Structure 1
Amino acid sequence: MSNRVTPSVQEIVSTLKRSSLPTLVIEGSDDVYIYRYLKSKLSSRVVSIQPCGGRSTLFKIHDRKHEFADKNIVFIADKDSYRFDGIPDDRKDIIFTEGYCIENDIYQGSTIHSFIDEEDSSSFELLRTLILRWYAFELERYNANQSENKTLEVSAHINVISPDNTQLCPLFSQRIGFREPNTQTLEFVANAYDSNVRGKQLFQMLSRFMSKKGRFSSFSDKNLVEIALKQGGNDLLQRLVCDMENKLAVA
């Protein structure tokens, strides 16, 4: 793990003011590899990438975009809860992913799910159903929250949510106050499962089966993200590249 200190909002704004290069401002350092790959698809590769250390920091910098309005700066972010709420007017110049996060767009536009062995398909589908129930519960809880700074609490690792593929962890369920979501919410999430459920968990689910003991080869979630990213023919990623190209051309 890197010990590199993330620059402050003021430091990043100052860097953007001085920049002579077109710059893609992205959320976090974990996304740098992905956006470097997407940058390689641009007609001009003389483009800098500036990670911010998180979504809230990116938005704080975006709020100060008037300070570097003469620079060629493009913001890119995960849609997150905007997937369900819609994008606010003051953020509509940001390029957002189609799914909940960039991993969703990578996953949905690939054939990586076909890597699951036939003998694991039933257990894999059961795990997806368990994650669906949990996610739908969290979405209902989010929608019922009337506070201004509410967040959709869906960052838990699948090993915490369901360690054994057969049930939601009782301790985890108790801690979050889990209750069964209604049918309408389950159907809503399920109808676009691979776009709605957080992409990191989609790859975690795959990795659980692709790294189990006894397999000929083992794949971590990051291995699977890289494979899916480079499979080609992904219309969702091509849309992101086109949006970056267009905004860099007019910025």
Structure 2
Amino acid sequence: MGGPLNKDEIVSYLANSTLPTLVVEGRDDMSFLRPIEKQIKGLDILVADGKDAALHVLDSIDNIECPIAILVDLDFWSIDGIPPQYEGRPRLIVTDGYSIENDLIRDANLFELLHGPEIDRFHRAALLLSKWFACCRFSKNFSKDRPWNARIKKVISLEDLSYEKTALTFMTIFSVEPERASYIFDNFHKFFRGKSLKSLYQLFFSTPNRQPNLEVGSLMAGAWVGNGAFVTRIRTEIRDILLSN
């Protein structure tokens, strides 16, 4: 595995390669994918410079015959639907949730590790975040400002389960229909930004005096080598594509 490559560098590399190759959209996916290198002999994993670059590669490899799979996160396709030009495309694998983190968190059953009053507090935090996330997604400045990348602690206070000032101001300006927020809340583990969901769980699991304190990254890594439904589907599709020739 190397560092991120731009779309043209990847296409040029693939045109001169015979190795089974998996293209991923970012470096964050790499640690979870390492075990699959042992399952596919000679596997080459290339890191693209983002989702758009990975999709450009997909659009440019029709005449390249070496086994290639492209893995991308759904991101907001999880809410909006996959664009028609990518629905059912050969060589393309997409996560079930917003990102691979969402799939790993669900396979790791992190919610089941909450206990006692944590469960109600987590639901209340998720409801606050769902309303904010809906405002982010459906605001007029959706593609410009990327407010959904804000850290959890910049959005809500877990101490009193209320919005921080900046998030509250944003939501006052960009209101959203209640049914849109409810839709995200009902599917929170699938639709909410994966890195933020991971951070939310880590905040709960590392609360002072909590027993036991848990490390979310380790639990997610364990899920990748487990037999959860979401991860199993991704692994199976990677193998089916790359070992079909």
Q: Are 1:215 and 2:215 matched, yes or no?
A: no
Structure 1 SS opposite 2:179: helix
Structure 1 residue 217: Cα displacement: 5.1
Which of 30, 33, 42 is residue 32 of structure 1 equivalent to?
30
What residue is the counterpart of 1:163 in the other structure?
Answer: 157
What residue is the counterpart of 1:173 in the other structure?
Answer: 168
For these two proteins, the number of residue pairs brought into alignment is 240
Structure 1 residue 37: Cα displacement: 3.0
Structure 1 residue 98: Cα displacement: 1.0
Structure 1 residue 220: Cα displacement: 4.4
Name the aligned partner's letter for residue 161 of structure 1. V
Root mean square deviation of aligned Cα = 2.7
Change (3 A) 1:181 1:234: same
Separation of aligned partners in 1, 2:49 and 2:68: 17
Name the aligned partner's letter for residue 157 of structure 2. P
What residue is the counterpart of 2:177 in the other structure?
Answer: 182
Which of 176, 182, 188 is residue 193 of structure 1 equivalent to?
188
Runs of 4+ in 1 over 6 A off after TM superposition: 149-152
- The answer to whether the 8 A contact 1:132-1:197 is kept is yes
What residue is the counterpart of 1:75 in the other structure?
Answer: 70
- The answer to whether the 8 A contact 2:107-2:229 is kept is yes
Name the aligned partner's letter for residue 167 of structure 1. S
Separation of aligned partners in 2, 1:17 and 1:59: 16
- The answer to whether the 8 A contact 2:148-2:193 is kept is yes
Q: Are 1:239 and 2:239 matched, yes or no?
A: no
Change (3 A) 1:153 1:56: farther
Separation of aligned partners in 2, 1:107 and 1:5: 25
Name the aligned partner's letter for residue 201 of structure 1. S
Structure 1 residue 245: Cα displacement: 1.9
Unaligned ranges ≥5, structure 1: none
- The answer to whether the 8 A contact 2:99-2:194 is kept is yes
- The answer to whether the 8 A contact 1:27-1:53 is kept is yes
Name the aligned partner's letter for residue 168 of structure 2. S
Name the aligned partner's letter for residue 158 of structure 2. D
What residue is the counterpart of 1:141 in the other structure?
Answer: 139
Separation of aligned partners in 1, 2:41 and 2:113: 32
Q: Are 1:126 and 2:121 matched, yes or no?
A: no
Q: Are 1:61 and 2:57 matched, yes or no?
A: yes
- The answer to whether the 8 A contact 2:98-2:193 is kept is yes
Q: Percent identity?
A: 22
Unaligned ranges ≥5, structure 2: none
- The answer to whether the 8 A contact 2:126-2:185 is kept is no
Structure 1 residue 192: Cα displacement: 1.8
What residue is the counterpart of 1:101 in the other structure?
Answer: 99
Change (3 A) 1:155 1:235: same
Tell me the TM-score normalized by structure 2. Answer: 0.84
Which of 26, 37, 42 is residue 46 of structure 1 equivalent to?
42
- The answer to whether the 8 A contact 1:27-1:77 is kept is yes
Separation of aligned partners in 2, 1:84 and 1:219: 30
Structure 1 residue 77: Cα displacement: 0.4
Structure 1 residue 78: Cα displacement: 0.4
Deviations along 1:170-195, one digit per CA (max 9) or x if unpaired, are 12332565555322212221222211
